[in-house]
Amino acid sequence: MKSFSKILHFFILIICLILQVAFFDYLDIFLIRFDLVMVAVIAVALFDGTMWGMIFGFVAGMAIDLMAGNIVGISAFIYSADAFMVRKLITAGFKSRLLTYIFIVFIITEINILTVSLIYYLFNFSISRFGMGLDMIIGPLCNIILVFVIFPIIRIGKGMNRETEFEFKYKNEI
Amino acid sequence: MVILNRRFRNFIVLVLIIFLCLVAITATFRQSEIISTLKSKTIDFFKPIQEKVFSLFSPVIGFFNYIRDYINLRDRYLELKAENSSLREGYVESANLRVENDALRKLLDIKLRGGYETITARVIGFSNENWQSEVILNVGVSDGISQGMGVINEDGLVGVITRAGSSSCNVRLINDPQSSIGVRVLSSRKLGVLKGSQGGIISLDYIPVGETVLKGDIIITSEYGNLPGEILVGRVSKVSEDESSLYKIVEIEPFADFRRLEYVLVLKQ
């Protein structure tokens, strides 16, 4: 059952990846950008554990970089680090589960934008502070909307109840 | 003990992943053949499903484009009105010049540039972030595509092929931060370099402060680059100067709308 759910989650992640490249990246209206893969990786890290989140994040990130990336390895690193950070952030321990999800996605989106900007800056790309600032406002909002779509799908795939949802400290606090 | 082991295991996995990512990043910058092959194979592998998904979502993308167009309608109308009146003035002048040009060509026995051989392709993927603007096309080496070929649509230059797989290829759009294309200002024939940037702003570099470049000037490709000359690229949208720089700051508005790309032509050179 466990391995079945992981295979299922992997397929969901691949679908997210294809949707991201073939559809969501095309919907760039008024700087609205959805990061479907990032939200899916966070969901996998929450429901399957950090290690699987990191592995799936690495695979999805590599695939994105290989399909349409300037520097191969950056998305893989970012998504794997996202999964690793989930474990740290889950201890924030909001009373509402939904608030915790939103908090995690918000923080990780902000960290992603800053990290990617920093990496590209180090690789001698020019940075637009205005663009980055707008991204830091709009990006998290878009990804929070995706929480309401992706998380239930991953949870259904896992077939779990809320008491066994997290394997970290938070489990005992729900 | 179990928790400690799990934390340790996660840490080991993270370190391993960071190491692999560093290897991949280094290989990218060393322009490794392995990375190029992997890129081609990955794109080819995902191509069939990506093509289907793209076709499926085309109406939705079209709907969002309609919304965008509707919001920009009034500005676009005023812009086109002004452009129309200036084109009308230019038409009379150009008709006279054409007659004169034909006569001179006959006199000097100069052949006109022939039409380019092209390959029609469909966009099946898009990557539009601050740091990159790329599209994936459904044609590859098997269709005669190779790296460096130019890509155009009915409006003008779209980009350049950066990687060709067996049945798909990547196109770096002209607003990508890594894009760099040799161009000319049509009116003054001055040469410059068209560069993309983060946020998709396209600039025309290396135009000295003393040169005259006006808002509205048309930019075309230069015959000295890898692309064929005189392909429409865009129009100057902003000209300014920086006291500390020897060159003007010129922004270009491309003719091609990258968010509407569906079918394009690859220039077979």
Q: Which residues contact A138 (CB under 8 A, 6 or more apart)?
A: A30, A31, A32, A33
Classify residue A165: in a domain, yes or no: no
State whether A72 and B24 contact (CB < 8 Å).
yes
Encode pLDDT of B215-242 as tens digits.
888 899 988 877 888 888 998 888 888 8
State whether A55 and B18 contact (CB < 8 Å).
no
Encode pLDDT of B51-96 as tens digits.
888 888 888 877 877 777 787 788 888 888 888 877 877 777 777 7
Classify residue A41: in a domain, yes or no: yes
**Quick one: pLDDT band at residue B117, thresholds 50, 70, 90?**
confident
**A94-116: average pLDDT:** 84
Encode pLDDT of A46-80 as tens digits.
888 888 899 999 999 999 888 877 788 888 999 99
**B108-116: average pLDDT:** 57
Report chain A's mean pLDDT, rounded to a whole number. Answer: 80
Classify residue A13: in a domain, yes or no: yes
CATH number at residue A71: 1.10.1760
**Is residue B151 scored above 70 in pLDDT?**
yes
Q: Is the pTM higher than 0.90? A: no
Encode pLDDT of A106-134 as tens digits.
999 999 888 888 887 787 666 677 778 88
Classify residue A166: in a domain, yes or no: no
* CA pair distance B138, B151, nearest whole angstrom: 13
> Hey, what amino acid is at B230?
E
Give me the domain span that covers residue A151: 2-22+34-158
Encode pLDDT of B1-11 as tens digits.
555 576 688 88
Classify residue A163: in a domain, yes or no: no
**A124 close contact with B: CB closer than 8 A:** no
Classify residue A62: in a domain, yes or no: yes
Q: What is the pLDDT of residue A164?
A: 45
Share of chain A above pLDDT 90, in %: 17
Classify residue A173: in a domain, yes or no: no
**Is residue A92 scored above 80 in pLDDT?**
no
**B209-220: average pLDDT:** 85
* CA pair distance A132, B21, nearest whole angstrom: 24
Length of chain A: 174
Q: What is the pLDDT of residue A115?
A: 87
Q: What is the pLDDT of residue A120?
A: 76
**Quick one: pLDDT band at residue A95, thresholds 50, 70, 90?**
low
Q: Which residues of B touch A60 (CB under 8 A)?
A: none
To probe the interface with B, which of A26, A52, A66, A124 has the most B CB atoms within 10 Å?
Answer: A26
**B131-147: average pLDDT:** 86
Classify residue A164: in a domain, yes or no: no
Report chain B's mean pLDDT, rounded to a whole number. Answer: 83
Q: What is the pLDDT of residue B257?
A: 84
**A116 close contact with B: CB closer than 8 A:** yes
Q: Specify whether the CB–CB gap between A27 and A19 falls below 8 A.
A: no
Q: What is the pLDDT of residue B4?
A: 58
Q: How many domains does chain A have?
A: 1
**Is residue B243 scored above 80 in pLDDT?**
no
Q: Which residues of B touch A19 (CB under 8 A)?
A: 53
CA distances, B73 to each of B66, B77, B81, B238 (Å): 10, 6, 12, 21
Crossing angle (nearest 10°) for helices A97-122 and A74-89: 140
